[in-house]
Amino acid sequence: MALIVEVLDARSDDVRSWHRLAGEHLALGRAYDNDVVLDDPYVEAHHARIEPDGAGTFVLRDLGSVNGLVGGDGVRRPEFPTTAGTTVRVGHTIIRFQDSDVPPAAAIPDRRGQRTGARLPAWLDTPAAQLGISAGALVVILWLSWLGTYQRSATGDLTDLALGLMFALILWAGIWSVAGRVVTHRFRFLGHLAIAFAALAVLAIWGTVSEWFAFVAPDTALAKPLGIAVVLLLIGVLVAGHLALASAMTRRRRWTAAWITCLILLALGTAASLAERKPFSDVPQFAATLKPLPTSLLPTHRLASFSAVERDLQRQVDALARKTP
């Protein structure tokens, strides 16, 4: 067992230096002949001294300084015991006594080493592959958008879309990579950009798939929940992907964070749609999508089957009419 004197940083309370009491005395002051040199204009050249108290322990004793020794309670005293944990202000510098026998906390396991190799296949972790994914995704998005236009020239609209998307996603990837730089000390801009572009391209492809679904099977009760589930799944994957590059989280914690994000978005979305739900509208909502599918492949119903659909509509609007507006 030995007495340790810790000199603390005044702002953060972090320990700036440690000093072990090797012999019988330890001198503290601004002068260079002290054992502990304190670079503090409020400290005397020879300010205080640790020495035996004659009863087998040590005390910190004021050597007649101007500013003296002040305890944690703000009271100035000529002498302080050196029990572990005691803090004393010397000028503007705080010192704390410790016992060398106190066991330190266990080391924090470092998972930084596992990340790069385990989380991305090597071929994906190259700038070329990541730029390629971003560019490919942009082409897919623009192509699908172009298929949705019917003007003679859609160049202007598509250029606007491309520039808007690039601006937004560069900003998005920039935020994630700055966050990653802070947390993992690595700036992985192209990786984040590729993840964001890929997610958007999948969303665009899903949009086309769901249009075909709505065309072949209109008014299916499953369509809306399925659409919401796909979008939430995509957001989850997006968040988990960004976290893989920008954090030191384990896989389990990444996915937990992703699903929590989804749940929050689902709750917000539900709340927003409930708040916005208009009780009345004179604009009808219906599945208008048309697709060039040969009629031989399209499941159709006979005219006679439509009367049941009509009667169901009648029941619905009669129920609405019974409610007061």
Partner 1 sequence: MDVRRVVGLAASAIVATALPLAAQQGGVATPSVFRRFANRVIRIQVSEAGSGAKAVVGSGIFVDDAGHLLTNFHVVADVVQHPDRYHIAFGDGHTPGDSATILAIDVIHDLAVLQAPTGPRPHFTLAAARVHQGDRLYSLGYPEDLGLAIVEGTYNGLLKHTLYPKLHFTGSLNPGMSGGPTITEDGRVVGINVSTAGNQLSFLVPVSDAIALVARATASGYRPPARMLDDVARQMMTYQDVYLGRLFTDSTKTVDLGPYRVPTEPAAFFRCWGDAPDEGNRPYVRTVHRCSTDDEVYLASDESSGVVELTHELLTSTSLSVARFYALYTATFARDNTPSGNEDEVTSWRCATRNLTNGTMALRTVLCLRAYRKLAGLYDGVIKVAALGTRRAGLVSTLTLSGASFANIQRLTSRFLREFQWR
Q: How many residues of this chain interact with partner 1, rule: CB under 8 A?
A: 47
| Paired tokens of 317 | 């609007």
The token duo for 287 is: 């599945």
Q: Which is nearer to partner 1, 142 or 234 (CB)?
A: 142
289 in contact with partner 1 (CB under 8 A): yes
CB-wise, 57 or 149, nearer to partner 1? 149
Q: Quick check: 78 and 69 in contact, CB under 8 A? A: yes
With binding defined as CB under 8 A, does residue 318 bind partner 1? yes
Reduce the DSSP state of residue 313 to 3 states and report it. Answer: helix
Binding mask 133-172 for partner 1 (x = CB under 8 A): -------------xxxxxxx--------------------
Site string for partner 1, 189-218 (x = CB under 8 A): ---------------------------x-x
Residues 53 and 3 sit within 8 Å (Cβ to Cβ): no
40-75 per-residue burial string, b: 16 or more CB within 10 A, e: under 16: beebbebbbbbeeeeeeebbbbbbebebbbbeeeee
In angstroms, give the least distance from the CB of 289 to partner 1: 5
CA-wise closest residue to 33 among 42, 24, 44, 41: 44
260: contact with partner 1 by CB under 8 A:
no
What is 173-206 written as a DSSP string?
Answer: HHHHHHHHHHHHS---HHHHHHHHHHHHHHHHHH
Assess 221 for contact with partner 1 (CB under 8 A): no
Contact predicate 26/47, CB 8 Å: no
Among 1, 73, 128, 281, binds partner 1 (CB under 8 A): 281
Nearer to partner 1, 84 or 216 (CB): 216
Neighbouring CB atoms inside 10 A of 138's CB total 18
CB of 320 to partner 1, least distance (A): 4
Q: How far apart are CA 88 and CA 94, in angstroms?
A: 6
How many other C-beta atoms are found inside a 10 Å radius of the C-beta of residue 191?
28
Closest to partner 1 by CB, 123 or 286? 286
Closer residue to partner 1 in complex, CB, 149/250: 149
302 touches partner 1 (CB under 8 A): yes
Assess 185 for contact with partner 1 (CB under 8 A). Answer: no
- Of the candidate spans 21-29, 48-56, 85-93, 317-325, the one that interacts with partner 1 by CB under 8 A turns out to be 317-325
Return d(Cα 70, Cα 54) in angstroms, integer.
23
Binding site for partner 1 (CB under 8 A): 146-152, 216, 218-219, 279-295, 298-303, 305-307, 309-310, 312-314, 316-318, 320-321, 325
